[in-house]
Structure 1
Amino acid sequence: MTLLKLALKSCWNRRTSVLLTFFTIAISVMLLLSIERVRMGAKSSFSNTISGTDLIVGARTGDIQLLLSSVFRIGHNNNAVSWQSYQDIKHRKGVAWTIPISLGDSHKGYAVLGTDSSYFDHYRYGKKQALQFQAGRAFHNGKEVVLGSEVADKLGYHLGQNIVISHGMGNTSFHHHDDNPMTIVGILAPTGTPVDKTLHIPLIAVDMIHASASAPRAITRKQVTGNDPHEHDPHDDHHHNHAHGSLDSEPSDLVGNPKQITAFLMGFDSPLYTLQVRRNINQYKGEPLLAIMPTVTLKELWEMLDIVEKLLLLFSIVVVIISLLGMLTTLLATLSQRRRELAILRSVGARPWHIFSLLSFEATIITLLGCVSGTVLFYTGLFVIMPVLQSQFGVNLSMAPLSPYELTLLGGIMLSGTLMGLIPAARAYYYSLADGMSIKI
């Protein structure tokens, strides 16, 4: 205990150099923990974006590209799936539900997704959590829109307000549909996924937007409900009923008769049907289609990014090593100046192993204080950056206590700092033996 107090007082006497060393260790610890937490948070956020979906089907492209564009709203597909193919596939044996999605439009930088009521019934995120409404309800006709929580919060929207959808993705909109305002009827509860940054409209509304963009004209009842108020063709009714099949309960004013969609999600009655239907879709003769399993494709994505993760981890470890080497350099540089101090300690009865322990304690104390301060800085930075990462990149981080792996990293830093402290301690031990009771400067 006496040696520990002596080590603390020695550090205080050299507080300027000790503070600089301690500060570099704290920064490196903060960086290491931050990279690890962001890495794990990104994995968790991506994995929690979609669950309970067995297949995602789109036009033939890369597996990862289809996943990113249809689920994460990153990039886009150049081709689409015909509505006829969608109708054919969703009626196959074993299909429990399907969710059509149509992308390509936006509102003030936020993605607009066309779908039907099955989206609110069957879409799952996290641990198979269903979508909940923070306010309002789902859309009932082609003039209504449901907002993600972030869209409503950032743009200050409320129920009953009219907004205008634009044709085109992101901040680049090619046509604003001022003549077709849509009424906000629902706001979804936060999910921490791209759903929060999405506006949801009926598929029939997508048809209206595209028709208006190509040839602006008055919207008739036929465009909104799929029925002409002045004409009635039994053949059309037969075709319409056949087209909706298992979605007979879906009102026509939500779907209409779209020519194509971007992709669709599928769920099956049994996992046995998943591989069979996936193989059939990938060999579909009607048009070139691709069916992917989200969990498998996510795994492929992280394997592809594995080298980036390792490089980030290596970079942070190198920073830690440099800071520890800085501590070692400082201790060695001041060692010669402390030979008088060490000789005085010998003169009052300190043994060589006391000197060795003293220098070792100093290195351990500096490393420990650096780790504690670095952890405090880490949580402070986490508190500040969490909202930014969630809103801008959809990455959800938590203020949870350090994980076993993060504690292992801190333990490794503590061990490394202690081992590095043994080098100046060993030299001080040698000086103590060489100097004996004399004082050498």
Structure 2
Amino acid sequence: MSVSNKSNTVIRALGSIETRMALFHGNLNGSTQGTQTIDFEADIDASIFYEAVNALYKKYVPLRCTIKREENELYFYRDADLNRIDVNYIEVNTIQEKDKLVRLALDDKIEASISLWKISLVKLTSQASYTLIFSAHHAIIDANGMHHIAQSFFDFIASKITGTNYFDNSEVDLPLAVDALLREQTFAPKAEQSTARDFDTACPLESRSTHWQQLKLDTVFMGKLNTQLAKDNIKFHSIVSAAMCIAMQKTQFIQTPFPFGTAVSLRFLQDSQPSYFNPLGCYMSIASNLIEDSELDVTQLAIKYDRALMHKIMTTCLTKSPIDINQVDAGTKQIATLHSFAQGVGITNMGDINIRSPHPSVLLTDYTMLANRVAGNFSIVAHCYAFNNVQTVSLVYPHPILAGEHVKEVVNEMLLLLEDYCAQANTNNSLHNKTTVPA
């Protein structure tokens, strides 16, 4: 069925990356659905929050969209009713109550036929302290898009507090699919034999929840780490990836060889093909490398990983992957029946979070980005980002099919490996103010 014969609410068919994301989300209880939380202080009330939400809805076309299936194709429709979108202003008495709402937002599946996002503002009644909780369907809004929306939200509420006009009334349209930028497949991918890790506790999909544990590195630690990284010409992302892989082996979390997936954003094509990109849109691909070496130290593995990653980006991420919607539909449903982590472990690096306080009356104090991981295709996915001079590495995993004590062992071993690496830069000074915080 052609789009031209359909209702005028149809915008376009989903591209291949978007289709995979949509089927994964739909069949696996919202898996990959992203949730960002931002703590801030301001003097606002519920009416300003609802005005801000209305402004976002008008500004961003993807926030007015749904996803529906027609025959053997998925389409973006412009038919999301703001009155049916999950929008909430909630007052709570304790941080524990707030944390429960964050967990609910993370794992409560967004119904794509109704909307592609949800938003809540949670106020601690004892103080002028708020938490913005924004969740989005990953088929069209990635972390970059979530940051862009958050910045617009804070710009708007600052304008209401200061009595100035919110001047940015430009509309952000639904971006084009990036399929046209990808190369035709000219080779058959080599099959790689890997070791799958069994579940710790078998548990049906609907009874799982997303858990996480965090490694936080302060400016003192990062100063030492960056000094050594500069000497070795190694990226932060690569040293964390290497430390994670070696920690997996040292704790016997998984046996080699195992797949290590890296989330890759195709936004690096934006400079040469700007018409295909806008602030929203999900352009994610996965570069999977097989970790085979058990004798390499963290520096050697970081260098090897970095080179292998670049090769995979150029040969895999930029290659069109033929998509049969029925085959992908069946394949994603099958993941829920497995009793092992089919894709090993993974990592995504968001770099510095550049959401700024637009005015002294709005003070941003903390930030967290997480993704729903209940599918269990990955055992652990590390989310790396820096905010307010603190580098965070969150190890996100499905519970109870993966036991938290095993994740804690990996986190602690990663910290020791990074400490040892930093010690090469300055063996005389101790490292301090590093914490592992289970969530």
Q: Shorter-chain TM-score category?
A: under 0.3
- TM-score between both structures, scaled by the size of structure 1: 0.18
Q: Answer 1 or 2: which has greater strand percent.
A: 2
- TM-score between both structures, scaled by the size of structure 2: 0.18
